[in-house]
Amino acid sequence: MRIANENGVNLERPKGNEEPKSKYYIVTEGDNTEIQYFCGVRDNAEELNIKPLIEIVPVENDEEEKGQSHPKRKLDNFNKSLTEGKFTYIENFDKVIFIIDRDPQNLKEKQLNEFINNCKKDKYFVYLSNPTFEIFLIMHSDKIFDIDRKEMLENRREKRRSRRFLEIKLSEIFGCNKKNIDFEKFKLNIKKAIKNEKNFCEDLEKLKSELGSNVGQLLDSIIEE
């Protein structure tokens, strides 16, 4: 694995009296939508009022890992990268955060439970969106309350358009698609997304079957009041 769009990310720890930053390694299931979003958070940290002693470090697959999106593979690959010394990680100071989708078509409940348990053993954190990360993106607009919740949870694929329901709604509301989300369209509404998320399920255990996300809780924890 590698740092996504490195853009001046420095994994070296400061020397002398300078206070070190806690590195938040963001490991996402997908290499498009989620990576773009958290690279946007990282690149706009000051404007978004991210706590100054937190450094957001989005992590993506390297070339030999392309197409490996299953959470188990992501976990294995990240741990392998740690063993190989690609990242500097201090337990109980830095955080490893996995951003994944419930997406029952691709991730069985048994697999999800095993993944969450393995993350707990490694003291990693899991943030889950049900059915997919697009639900959290749509929460950046109050228009989410006009959309049928059953349809959002089912997230059916439209045969003629070969896209799922939430991706279509994302395009209708924000004029973008999951491969190019244009972070500027979401940046000013992050606090709205955090607020709107509270109207849906945020509990990790319940998110296995209920509509919602807890990504907003992550953002709320890193943004200064």
Of the candidate ranges 3-12, 41-50, 96-105, 129-138, the one whose mean pLDDT is the lowest: 3-12
CA distance 197 to 128: 12
- Here the tokens at position 89 are 């990680």
The answer to whether residue 5 scores a pLDDT higher than 80 is no
- The tokens 């690609």 sit on which residue? 86
Residue 9 pLDDT > 80, yes or no? Answer: no
Instruction: Provide the β-strand partners of residue 125.
Output: 97
pLDDT at 139: 98
What does the radius of gyration of the chain's CA atoms come to, in whole angstroms? 17
Whole-number Å distance between alpha carbons of 94 and 103: 28
Q: Give the residue-averaged pLDDT of 19-34.
A: 92
Q: Could you give the CA distance from residue 129 to residue 100 in angstroms, rounded to a whole number?
A: 7
Q: Look at residue 11 in the predicted model and tell me its pLDDT.
A: 62
Q: How far is CA 165 from CA 29, 37, 186, 202, in A?
A: 19, 20, 20, 21
Q: With cut-offs at 50, 70 and 90, classify the pLDDT of residue 103.
A: confident
What is the structure's pLDDT at 8? 53
Q: Which two tokens stand for residue 15?
A: 């020397």
pLDDT of residue 18: 76
How much of the chain exceeds pLDDT 90, in percent?
A: 79
User: Longest Cα pair distance anywhere in the chain, in angstroms?
Assistant: 61
Residue 7, pLDDT score: 58
- 80 pairs with which residues across the strands? none
d(CA 76, CA 120): 14
- pTM for the structure as a whole: 0.94
* 34 close to 133: Cβ distance less than 8 angstroms: yes
| Average pLDDT of span 11-36 | 84
Q: What does the pLDDT look like over 167-205, one tens digit per residue?
A: 999 999 999 988 899 999 999 999 999 999 999 999 999
Tell me the C-alpha distance between 199 and 225, whole Å: 21
pLDDT digits (tens, 9 = 90+) for 40-74: 999 999 999 999 999 999 999 888 887 788 899 99
